[in-house]
Structure 1
Amino acid sequence: MDTSIARRNILARIRAAQGREAEPSAPEREAAAGYLARHPEGPRPLMPEDLVTHFIEEAQKMATTVETVDALSDVPAAAHRYLAQHGLPVQAIAWQTLQDLDWVKAGLMVEFRKPIDGDVVGITGCFCATAETGTLVLLSGPETYASAGLLPETHIAIVPASRIVAGHEEAFGLIRAERGELPRAVNFVSGPSRTGDIEQTIVLGAHGPYRVHAIVVRGA
């Protein structure tokens, strides 16, 4: 069952037990929106005006490698450079939203599908990114499958500079403004997967990619 449907069913049963209709009424939604608008934000660190530079600095602290390019058309060549520099295969899977880029001209063989066992490189875009923590924000969907940034051992993410926001608060505000409600999965990616469970030794790639590479597009 779709998780969003399951979530609605659970909430509907809770509301029924409270003697309310399955779906919130318009006044209820307005009251919730009013509460969010009135609710004061907690203390937050000051952010510089240049969010792009701050994002790059923070991402690198989290072991995300970063390259900047001028335009979306430069992305395939940048991806090829990264893979060649690290001796990685030039075969990749990618989100369907990236089909218009000229991957073949850059020497890459890209399939626009969900990853399967054996796929080493996954290429995604992102919904937005947060400068405060150098984090990628990925929303799942029919063409933006979450698994593309989770299963392959190398994750290359395309980050339009115009979609870099200050913090998580702005990211969730953008989701509410543009999507209305959360999709099935919202993934916040801050560098490669890691764990320190064994003798407090940090191990990369424990539950996801070994490598995360962000290509920041200044003209997008």
Structure 2
Amino acid sequence: MSAKDEILGRVRRGVGKDDFAGRRAAAIASLKTPERGQQPVMNADLVARFRAKAEYLSSTLGAVATLAEVPAAVAAYLKANGLAGEAVVTADVASLDWSGSGLCVESRPAVDADKTGISSCFCAIAETGTLMLLSGPQTPATVSLLPETHIALVEVSRIVATMEDAFALLRAERGSLPRAVNFISGPSRTGDIEQTIVLGAHGPCRVHLILIG
């Protein structure tokens, strides 16, 4: 054995790197039983908490009772803000009666010329007013990232308390992570220039949430 091998061997033994099986078992056990840190104190009304946090982050909100009412709510929002009645939508909500509300939508990934993107979300987080979106064939991330206006559909039954709860729901329902998990907390913003907040610097300048249920 060379001096180099002897030295490296002592280092490996010192940090436990010879016990590969034991280290792997410990890592798997840790992943299966993740420990939670300190949790915030929240009241039982997660919807009210989510609303307040989302508005603080400069999102606007609307509400409907059923999914079928969404197209009319979207049309009203676009008209009230002087926006065109055209949008790109994720495939999972493309079957709604958009044309019945006078909207022209296309189900496809967004491009930089698209002005409005409409998407669902996997769940929403009451603690911070944040949306959790998963990428996939039915839900391309570009729809929520490229257009100037992003309209997200949020089922109130899928508003969870914390980010830990969001990841627990993801593990329970999907088992494994998708290619990308995107968290959206209001419009894109920056304060790089003279510490002045500017919306829409790196993504949508408007985020409108429609709560369903």
Q: Does 1:141 align with 2:140?
A: no
Task: Kindly report which structure 2 residues correspond to 1:30-41, keeping only aligned pairs within 5 A, or say none.
Answer: 32=27, 34-36=29-31, 38-41=33-36
Structure 2: runs of 5 or more not aligned: 1-16
Matched, 1:187 2:182: yes
Query: Contact 2:111–2:142 at 8 Å: present in 1 too?
Result: no
Instruction: Give the superposition deviation at 1:20.
Output: 11
The answer to whether 1:212 aligns with 2:207 is yes
Secondary structure of 1:213's aligned partner: strand
1:80 — aligned with what? 75
Shift of 1:37: 5.6
**Which residue in the other structure is 1:12 paired with?**
none
2:93 maps to amino acid: L
Change (3 A) 1:42 1:105: same
Q: Does 1:64 align with 2:65?
A: no
> Aligned equivalents of 1:139 and 1:132: distance in 2?
19
Q: Match of 1:175, SS?
A: helix
Decide whether aligned partners of structure 1 residues 169 and 105 sit closer, same or farther in structure 2, where only a CA change above 3 A counts: same
Using the alignment, how far apart are the partners of 1:124 and 1:38 within structure 2? 32
User: What SS class does the counterpart of residue 209 from structure 1 fall into?
Assistant: coil
CA distance in 2, matches of 1:36, 1:198: 41
TM-score if structure 2 supplies the norm length?
Answer: 0.86
Partner in structure 1 of residue 109 of structure 2: 114
Measure how far apart 1:32 and its partner are.
4.4
CA distance in 1, matches of 2:178, 2:18: 28
Give 1:34 deviation, angstroms. 3.5
Say whether 1:166 aligns with 2:161: yes
The structural deviation recorded for 1:40 is 3.6
Question: How high is the sequence identity, in percent, across the aligned residues?
Answer: 55
Q: Distance in 2 between matches of 1:131 and 1:164?
A: 6
Cα shift at 1:76? 0.5
Report the RMSD for the aligned CA atoms in angstroms.
2.1
Deviates most, 39-48 or 74-83: 39-48
C-alpha deviation, 1:184, in angstroms: 1.1
Q: 1:112 to 1:35 in 2, by over 3 A?
A: same
CA gap of 1:85–1:37, structure 2 versus 1, over 3 A, is same
1:199 partner letter:
E
- CA distance in 1 between counterparts of 2:34 and 2:111 reads 44
The TM-score, its normalising length taken from structure 1, stands at 0.83
TM-superposed deviation, 1:31 = 5.1
Residue 44 of structure 1 and its aligned partner are, at CA, apart by 1.6
Aligned residues: 196
Pair 1:104-2:104 in alignment: no
Measure the CA separation in 2 of the matches of 1:20 and 1:175.
Answer: 32
Q: Which residue of 2 aligns with 1:127?
A: 122
Mapped partners of 2:84, 2:183: distance in 1: 26
